[in-house]
């Protein structure tokens, strides 16, 4: 339990650490039905390319029969855990790339986001390949070393205790497993930074209001992006959780970064 008086940020506001999750949950409860549409509108479809880069880096195996190890190990599917997986976007892309040899578990704390995800999975015919679990990234309901890879896309900055979520990702990964985190980052291209600032604070909350009826949710979104640690600092947090060969790759002028670490 948090120490009384411990604070954190919710966007630009200071809030009690123990209060942040409920406020984050409200945000995603309110936008769940229009979440995917808003992603396309806000990013001009770019979130699709960013997620595709994540899945390419993950490189889910098409078939495990020829991989090293014992026959028993080879016969099990590649197990991917997608944290804060919401409406299933990353999971579906990974299944598209990995085929029948991939088993994905999507964990999210928000039942409304998961409901949308389950409906989408059925539409795609992915019911057997993906399991949706309501759970907190800070305290995963899975045994140690039970996944081959752990991904999280645009989720980590919403988690109140980021260090705990990183430690949990490490704990549930098998030795040799990879952690990949896609997150908004810091734009440091002169000219683009000013434009991005204007776009973020002037346009996104207005579009959020028009599409979801919830301006505050999208105000939180842009503020939370600004409060997220710079990529080098976040890379050190990933290392502190135990990961090795930690690296990151900025994309689109630093709008987002793909972070990577291995459990070795």
Ligand X SMILES: C[S@@+](CC[C@H](N)C(=O)[O-])C[C@H]1O[C@@H](n2cnc3c(N)ncnc32)[C@H](O)[C@@H]1O
* Residues binding ligand X (CB under 6 A): 21, 24, 28, 84-87, 89-90, 107-110, 113, 136-138, 153-155, 158-159
- Which residue, among 181, 178, 184, has the nearest Cα to 244 in the 3D structure? 178
**Residue 141 gets which letter from DSSP?**
S
Asked if residues 239 and 260 have their Cβ atoms less than 8 Å apart, the reply is: no
- Residue closer to ligand X, measured from CB, 86 or 98: 86
C-alpha pair distances (Å), 58 with each of 108, 231, 239, 255? 20, 20, 19, 20
Q: Which residue has the tokens 């940020």?
A: 9
**Residue of minimal Cβ distance to ligand X:** 86
To the nearest whole angstrom, how small is the minimum distance from the Cβ of residue 72 to ligand X?
32
To the nearest whole angstrom, how small is the minimum distance from the Cβ of residue 213 to ligand X?
18
- Residue closer to ligand X, measured from CB, 1 or 175: 1
Q: Which residue has the tokens 């919830």?
A: 214
- Residue closer to ligand X, measured from CB, 153 or 187: 153
To the nearest whole angstrom, how small is the minimum distance from the Cβ of residue 231 to ligand X?
18
191: enclosing H helix or E strand:
none
Query: What whole-number distance in Å separates Cα of residue 224 and Cα of residue 51?
Result: 20
Taking phi first (over 0 means left), then psi (-120 to 50 degrees means alpha), and beta for anything else, what does residue 5 get? left
- Residue closer to ligand X, measured from CB, 85 or 261: 85
To the nearest whole angstrom, how small is the minimum distance from the Cβ of residue 119 to ligand X?
15
- Residue closer to ligand X, measured from CB, 28 or 196: 28
To the nearest whole angstrom, how small is the minimum distance from the Cβ of residue 71 to ligand X?
35
- Residue closer to ligand X, measured from CB, 15 or 189: 15
Question: Nearest-5° angle of CA 92, CA 102, CA 152?
Answer: 55
To the nearest whole angstrom, how small is the minimum distance from the Cβ of residue 49 to ligand X?
13
**Could you give the angle at which helices 162-172 and 231-240 cross, rounded to 10 degrees?**
50
Taking phi first (over 0 means left), then psi (-120 to 50 degrees means alpha), and beta for anything else, what does residue 37 get? alpha
To the nearest whole angstrom, how small is the minimum distance from the Cβ of residue 143 to ligand X?
18
- Residue closer to ligand X, measured from CB, 106 or 235: 106
């Amino acid at each position: 339990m948090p120490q009384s008086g411990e604070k954190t940020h919710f966007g630009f506001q200071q809030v009690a650490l123990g209060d942040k999750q409920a406020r984050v949950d409200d945000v995603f409860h309110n936008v769940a039905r229009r979440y995917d549409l808003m992603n396309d509108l806000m990013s001009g479809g770019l979130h699709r390319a960013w997620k595709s880069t994540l899945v390419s880096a993950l490189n889910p195996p098409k078939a495990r029969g020829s991989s090293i190890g014992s026959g028993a190990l080879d016969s099990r599917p590649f197990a991917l855990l997608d944290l804060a997986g919401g409406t299933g976007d990353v999971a579906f892309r990974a299944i598209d790339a990995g085929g029948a040899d991939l088993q994905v578990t999507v964990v999210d704390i928000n039942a409304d986001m998961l409901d949308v995800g389950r409906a989408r999975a059925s539409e795609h015919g992915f019911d057997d390949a993906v399991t949706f679990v309501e759970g907190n990234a800070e305290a995963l309901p899975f045994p140690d070393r039970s996944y081959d890879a752990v991904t999280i896309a645009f989720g980590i900055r919403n988690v109140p205790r980021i260090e705990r979520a990183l430690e949990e990702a490490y704990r549930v990964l098998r030795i040799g497993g990879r952690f990949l985190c896609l997150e908004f980052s810091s734009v440091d291209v002169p000219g683009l930074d000013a434009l991005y600032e204007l776009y973020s604070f002037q346009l996104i909350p207005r579009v959020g209001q028009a599409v979801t009826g919830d301006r505050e949710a999208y105000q939180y979104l842009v503020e939370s992006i600004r409060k997220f640690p710079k990529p080098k600092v976040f890379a050190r947090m990933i290392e502190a959780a135990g990961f090795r060969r930690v690296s990151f790759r900025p994309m689109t002028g630093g709008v987002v970064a793909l972070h990577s670490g291995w459990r070795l």
